[in-house]
């Protein structure tokens, strides 16, 4: 998870229509990380369909945690002498720029100038509608890291405040996340032997939405919805058949952001959905 944090600091200022996301307090004691990670990656986008997903993040505490041993960040050279600064605190991390997202997919910050303090739990919203061509859109984010500490130069302590760009002449780049745009005429590509959960459609929705998942065999699947406070608000046993299954969910829930999941006893898969007014 070395270079992942600030991609999602830029997404934190979610628009009024979705409401502000709620950081998951379970991550407070975690090390620097992002959920979902780059293996699970972001949910796919369908052309012309409103898209939403939430990201949870835990920012690093020190430079060594942020850099995972990268000497360009954990070492400062002064007058030919290398000084280890990996134990300096991360004062803040700033998203400088983002490159590659499909047009119409918006990433906002809920903090001034897309800045986060170190050692905090945050969350982010990614939302919008795109009609860009079907394909994979890799995303690259440029990040700056601010820190402070003390160096001993010629026997005298010198207080230093610096940032990654000032010290190295380059920003940190975040790679590995991608947004896949699927055609509105079909389901995303998947292997028939995989247990797969698709993004609900429509999303957001007001009265009902369709939940689709692929079952590798006929089986009983548990469907569950959890609200943003972690409370289970809906459960349903589904007798799934082998292949793609569709469950139409209608509700009497309040508007807001929810997590829905399917569980076949071997694997649990979750995604986010939005209930609108």
Q: Which CATH number characterizes residue 255's domain?
A: 2.60.40.1930
What pLDDT shows up at residue 14? Answer: 34
Determine the 3-state secondary structure of 35 from DSSP: strand
Percentage of the chain modeled with pLDDT above 70 = 86
Does 147 fall in a domain? yes
Query: Which of 12-16, 62-66, 182-186 is predicted most confidently?
Result: 62-66
Same domain? For 167 and 237 the reply is no
Same domain? For 134 and 247 the reply is no
| pLDDT over threshold 90, residue 26 | no
Same domain? For 114 and 207 the reply is no
Does 220 fall in a domain? yes
What pLDDT shows up at residue 152? Answer: 80
* pTM for this prediction: 0.56
Name which residue leads in pLDDT, 49 or 185.
Answer: 49
Same domain? For 169 and 212 the reply is no
Same domain? For 148 and 235 the reply is no
Phi, psi (deg, nearest 5) at residue 106: -105, 140
Please give the Cα distance from 47 to 152 (Å, whole number): 57
Please give the Cα distance from 6 to 112 (Å, whole number): 14
Does 228 fall in a domain? yes
Q: Which helix (H) or strand (E) holds 3?
A: none
Does 268 fall in a domain? yes
- Sheet with 135-138: list strands edge to edge: 45-46, 178-182, 135-138
Q: Could you read off the pLDDT of 244-269 as tens digits, one per residue?
A: 888 999 988 998 889 999 999 999 99
* The domain boundary residue, chosen from 148, 182, 216: 182
Residue linked to tokens 């991390």: 93
What domain range is 120 assigned to? 5-182
What pLDDT shows up at residue 238? Answer: 95
**DSSP for residue 195:** -
Same domain? For 174 and 202 the reply is no
Same domain? For 178 and 114 the reply is yes
Task: Please count the structural domains in the chain.
Answer: 2
Q: 225 near 259, Cβ under 8 Å?
A: yes
Name which residue leads in pLDDT, 122 or 221.
Answer: 221
Does 187 fall in a domain? no
What pLDDT shows up at residue 60? Answer: 82
Please give the Cα distance from 125 to 106 (Å, whole number): 9
Same domain? For 71 and 206 the reply is no
Determine the 3-state secondary structure of 133 from DSSP: coil
Same domain? For 227 and 104 the reply is no
Q: Which of 37-53 are b and which e, b meaning 16 or more Cβ less than 10 Å from the residue's Cβ?
A: ebeeebbbbbbeebbbb
Does 97 fall in a domain? yes
Same domain? For 212 and 253 the reply is yes
Does 253 fall in a domain? yes
Q: Could you read off the pLDDT of 204-246 as tens digits, one per residue?
A: 888 889 898 988 899 999 999 999 888 999 999 999 988 888 8
């Amino acid at each position: 998870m070395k270079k992942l944090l600030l991609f999602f600091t830029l997404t934190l200022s979610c628009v009024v229509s979705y409401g502000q996301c709620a950081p998951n307090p379970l991550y407070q004691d975690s090390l620097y990380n992002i959920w979902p990670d780059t293996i699970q990656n972001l949910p796919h986008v369908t052309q012309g369909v409103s898209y939403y997903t939430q990201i949870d993040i835990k920012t690093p505490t020190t430079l060594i945690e942020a850099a995972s041993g990268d000497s360009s960040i954990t070492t400062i050279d002064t007058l030919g002498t290398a000084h280890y600064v990996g134990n300096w605190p991360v004062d803040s991390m700033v998203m400088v720029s983002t490159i590659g997202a499909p047009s119409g997919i918006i990433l906002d910050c809920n903090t001034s100038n897309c800045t986060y303090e170190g050692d905090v739990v945050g969350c982010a919203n990614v939302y919008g509608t795109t009609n860009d061509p079907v394909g994979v859109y890799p995303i690259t984010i440029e990040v700056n890291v601010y820190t402070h500490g003390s160096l001993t130069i010629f026997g005298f302590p010198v207080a230093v405040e610096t940032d990654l760009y000032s010290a190295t002449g380059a920003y940190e780049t975040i790679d590995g996340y991608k947004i896949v745009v699927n055609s509105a005429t079909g389901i995303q590509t998947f292997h028939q032997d995989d247990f797969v959960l698709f993004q609900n459609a429509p999303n957001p929705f007001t009265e009902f939405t369709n939940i689709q998942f692929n079952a590798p065999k006929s089986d009983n699947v548990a469907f569950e919805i959890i609200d943003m406070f972690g409370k289970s608000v809906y459960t349903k046993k589904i007798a799934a058949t082998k292949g793609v299954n569709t469950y139409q969910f209608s509700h009497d829930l309040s508007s807001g952001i929810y997590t829905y999941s399917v569980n076949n006893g071997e694997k649990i898969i979750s995604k986010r959905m939005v209930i609108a007014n």
